[in-house]
């Protein structure tokens, strides 16, 4: 982070601690007066604010394979394992692991150079890419990129590396001859996976989350297209009504040249009572005809959304996608259903030859799978990436929750073997809970898992949902992150769930899964896993905790007790009263800050924690505020949500800069 910094560390002063204590007492007194019928909820199982939460069996490190790449001759399978910070080299003939290469922290993606001599592994929480010699497997160098890199690919010459940075919402363009970053290109919202087009002219970027938009509108996701020759954005292709676009594959031109991207299609503005009727969450793939082959003319992209679910059973959380070299088959993993769907590319192409109106209707048709799916083949637990061999004989599927690779014979379209990657065999509580988190079999007809609405290991999906009300359009609430929520009880925006056991036990079974849900032991394991999810190191804050001048000024605004005119600010209008740093920047109560709408049946909402706030838009209980600034400029006219009307633009900007450091 550039810019001047204050020399002191980012700690509370004695004056600030005293002021917070006084303000908290004032807040408690005010809350008791306002909510005499709503007593302050205590945390579950004796976990008070600041209580240390044990991380179960933290010393056990599973592998958790998430990304695959094959050597050009098919002899070596390279496997990226996110939980052990390694890349494994698997001998495909002997079906065993030969080498372990240490990379950066939380690796997520892998690319191979056109000549096959170099491997590139993205290290998500290191904000870097590890470059590896594909013969000696020695680490050559580390390339610095943007925040949270995941997907990556070289261009066809091997001179340039494109890296999708999730937290930065951009793509790093790396000159591999010098190892330096040439530029960053703005992508969509949370870009995760990339692919080089078959002709080498374009790089496709799939964005996990939809563009930020008002909560009463359906989501619109984006496939970002980069022109490799000019290294600029060539197109932003809208994919309406979907989120969680994942891996990317491109069929050969003989099979239509379509770009395939798995997605999830939510009906989030419909009440959850629709789940037993089916089709509340559907799963499929975007089938995109690139501009060069589009019948609609140059510069256009034809987008068709095809569902891969059955009418009465769903294949939740599409993740990996691959094509066989001759274009006969496409493979799509369903990470929540433990299945890979084998798509007949010839029948898919026939489906896409229908009229424009018929193609548009495919986005909501649950009978399309009967026409194009040749097989549903069981995998291991939580299949992620999939890749086909160059001769089209085999496909390899990474099973994240099993630490295994499934090997599929494409001639017979059957699994023929499983490669054990050598992870720990004992199951810790955290691992058991993690398996439950990704398992959609607990939901009615397999429509969703916990990870369906909390992708990327607990992230918010950025959508507003109509949850427990049977009335259309009432009490719509924004989804919340699961990162670092231990000690922030109660849960839900109305604060009705005193602990996570209630949230994930009877509430999830009754209102969300519409099933028996998890038993008491499973709930215990799931809660243990969720409480182990922590925010990554904040990229907006210097490693030593020092603040830039703007951040320091913003901190002074956050902790101020006097207005610009010098008047004393009432305790309930001070930022730190309701967002105390002593309790995860939340007060753990419900307050009325004037943000209720005519569609809400309550006016007091749970005070959200501010830790990691910069990484989880939109804001407010219903997601109306798309940016932090909107909270105070558009939705705080009466200063109920803190005194902000006296702030000038510079002061508000400084406050936001400080909030980004939390």
Whole-number pLDDT of residue 336? 98
Contact 478, 492 (CB under 8 A): no
Half-sphere exposure at residue 369, Cβ-oriented, CA atoms within 13 angstroms: 20
Pairwise CA distance, residues 164 & 167, whole Å: 9
Whole-number pLDDT of residue 554? 97
Burial 596-633 (b: 16+ CB within 10 A, else e): beeebeeebbbbbbbbbbbbbbbbbbbbbbbebebbbb
pLDDT digits (tens, 9 = 90+) for 361-416: 999 999 999 999 999 999 999 999 999 999 999 999 999 999 999 999 999 999 99
Task: Give, in order, the Cα–Cα distances in Å from 387 to each of 121, 323, 344, 654.
Answer: 16, 8, 16, 47
Report how far Cα 418 is from the mean position of its chain's Cα atoms.
28
Tokens of 321: 């996608």
Contact 328, 345 (CB under 8 A): yes
Its pTM stands at 0.91
Q: Which domains does the chain have, with CATH numbers?
A: 1-40+545-662 (1.10.760), 55-60+426-536 (1.10.760.10), 246-378 (2.130.10.10)
Q: Which residues contact 62 (CB under 8 A, 6 or more apart)?
A: 83, 84, 403, 423, 424, 431
Whole-number pLDDT of residue 293? 55
Contact 41, 489 (CB under 8 A): yes
pLDDT digits (tens, 9 = 90+) for 519-562: 999 999 999 999 999 998 899 999 899 999 999 999 999 999 99
Whole-number pLDDT of residue 473? 77
Whole-number pLDDT of residue 612? 92
Which residues of the chain register pLDDT less than 70?
1-58, 292-299, 470
């Amino acid at each position: 982070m550039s810019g001047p910094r204050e020399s002191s560390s980012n700690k509370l002063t004695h004056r600030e601690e005293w002021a917070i204590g006084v303000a908290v007492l004032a807040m408690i007194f005010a809350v008791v007066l306002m909510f005499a019928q709503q007593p302050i909820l205590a945390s579950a199982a004796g976990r008070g604010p600041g209580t240390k939460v044990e991380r179960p069996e933290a010393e056990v490190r599973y592998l958790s394979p998430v990304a695959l790449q094959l050597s050009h001759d098919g002899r070596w399978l390279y496997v990226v394992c996110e939980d052990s910070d390694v890349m494994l080299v698997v001998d495909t003939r002997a079906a065993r692991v030969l080498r372990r290469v240490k990379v950066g922290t939380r690796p997520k993606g892998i690319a191979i150079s056109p000549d096959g001599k170099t491997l590139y592994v993205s290290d998500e929480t290191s904000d870097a890419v590890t470059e590896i010699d594909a013969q000696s497997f020695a680490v050559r160098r580390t390339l610095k990129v943007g925040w949270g890199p995941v997907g990556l690919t070289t261009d066809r010459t091997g001179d340039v590396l494109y890296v999708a940075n999730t937290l930065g919402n951009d793509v790093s363009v790396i000159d591999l001859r010098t190892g330096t970053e040439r530029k960053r290109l703005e992508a969509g919202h949370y870009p995760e996976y990339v692919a080089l087009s078959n002709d080498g002219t374009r790089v496709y970027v799939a964005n996990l989350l939809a563009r930020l938009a008002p909560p009463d509108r359906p989501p619109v996701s984006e496939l970002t297209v980069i022109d490799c020759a000019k290294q600029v954005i060539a197109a932003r292709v809208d994919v309406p009504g979907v989120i969680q676009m994942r891996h990317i594959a491109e069929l050969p031109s003989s099979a239509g040249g379509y770009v395939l991207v798995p997605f999830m299609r939510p009906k989030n503005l419909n009440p959850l009572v629709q789940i037993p009727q089916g089709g509340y969450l559907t799963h499929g793939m975007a089938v995109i005809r690139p501009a060069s082959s589009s019948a609609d003319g140059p510069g256009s992209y034809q987008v068709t959304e095809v569902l891969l679910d059955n009418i009465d059973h769903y294949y939740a959380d599409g993740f990996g996608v691959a094509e066989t070299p001759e274009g006969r088959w496409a493979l799509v993993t369903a990470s929540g259903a433990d299945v890979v769907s084998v798509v007949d590319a010839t029948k898919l192409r026939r489906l896409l030859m229908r009229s424009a109106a018929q193609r548009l209707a495919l986005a909501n048709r649950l009978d399309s799978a009967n026409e194009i799916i040749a097989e549903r083949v069981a995998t291991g637990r939580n299949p992620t990436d999939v890749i086909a061999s160059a001769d089209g004989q085999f496909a390899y599927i990474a099973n994240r929750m099993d630490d295994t690779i499934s090997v599929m014979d494409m001639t017979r379209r059957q699994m023929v073997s499983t490669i054990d990657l050598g992870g720990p065999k004992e199951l810790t509580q955290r691992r058991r809970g993690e398996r439950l988190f990704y398992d959609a079999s607990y939901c009615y007809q397999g429509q969703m898992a916990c990870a369906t609405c909390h992708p990327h290991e607990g992230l918010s999906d950025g959508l507003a949902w109509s949850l427990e009300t049977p009335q259309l359009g009432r009490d719509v609430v924004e989804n919340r992150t699961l990162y670092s929520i231990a000690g922030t009880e109660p849960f839900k925006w109305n604060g009705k769930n005193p602990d996570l056991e209630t949230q994930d036990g009877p509430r999830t079974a009754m209102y969300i899964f519409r099933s028996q849900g998890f038993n008491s032991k499973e709930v215990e394991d799931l809660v243990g896993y969720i409480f182990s999810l922590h925010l990554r190191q904040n990229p907006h804050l210097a490693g030593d905790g020092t603040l830039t001048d703007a951040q320091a000024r913003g901190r002074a605004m956050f902790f101020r007790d006097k207005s610009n005119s010098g008047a004393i600010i009432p305790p309930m209008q001070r930022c730190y009263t309701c967002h105390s740093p002593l309790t995860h920047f939340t007060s753990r109560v419900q307050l009325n800050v004037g943000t209720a709408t005519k569609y809400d049946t309550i006016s007091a909402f749970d005070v959200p924690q501010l830790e990691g706030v910069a990484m989880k838009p939109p804001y407010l209980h219903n997601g109306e505020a798309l940016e932090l600034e909107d909270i105070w400029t558009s939705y705080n006219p009466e200063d109920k949500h803190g005194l902000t009307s006296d702030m000038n633009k510079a002061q508000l900007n400084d406050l936001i800069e400080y909030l980004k450091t939390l």
